[in-house]
Amino acid sequence: MREITVNASVDEIKSVTDFVNSQLAELGCTERIRIQVDIAIDEIFGNIVRYAYNPEHGSATVRVDVEEDPLSVIVAFIDKGIPFDPLRSKEPDVTLQAKERPIGGLGLFIVKKTMDGISYDYKDGQNILTIRKRI
């Protein structure tokens, strides 16, 4: 398991993405999987930046682990911001035209559809959102 702790700032999305991508490269991950994980990082870390500490500032830890059977990468996003379970949010109605849909929720919907697992826990004063992707 490896982890990085950074300020919950838009400026750190690239650092987090590069950190996770270095782990994916070691696993021989395909470009398609890497892109799907990158989109998930952008959405999840972006939500931490925008909502976890608002209007305050804080840090976020991103932890990467690997499971062997089946070969999967597990990425956990950990923050000490406002408790919030994004998995309880109502899914967007994707049958509506884009201009008819309310703003928000589509990014997490895409993450749920492209990852092989997603879970949320609030433990020891921390939000922990974990994604799993088979390699």
Q: Provide the 10 A C-beta neighbour count for residue 70.
A: 8
Say how far apart CA 126 and CA 31 lie, in whole Å: 32
Answer CATH for 2-134 from 1.10.3720.10, 3.40.50.300, 3.30.565.10, 3.40.50.1860 = 3.30.565.10
Cα 112 → chain centroid: 10
Residue 91 near residue 37 (C-beta atoms within 8 A) = no
Q: What residues does each domain of the chain span?
A: 2-134
Say how far apart CA 92 and CA 88 lie, in whole Å: 12
- Residuewise pLDDT in 10s, the chain (135 residues): 999 999 999 999 999 999 999 999 999 999 999 999 999 999 999 999 999 998 889 999 999 999 999 999 999 999 999 999 988 876 655 555 656 655 555 678 889 999 999 999 999 999 999 999 999
Of the candidates 60, 34, 36, which has an alpha carbon nearest to the alpha carbon of residue 47? 60
Beta bridge partners of 63: 3, 76
pTM of the model: 0.90
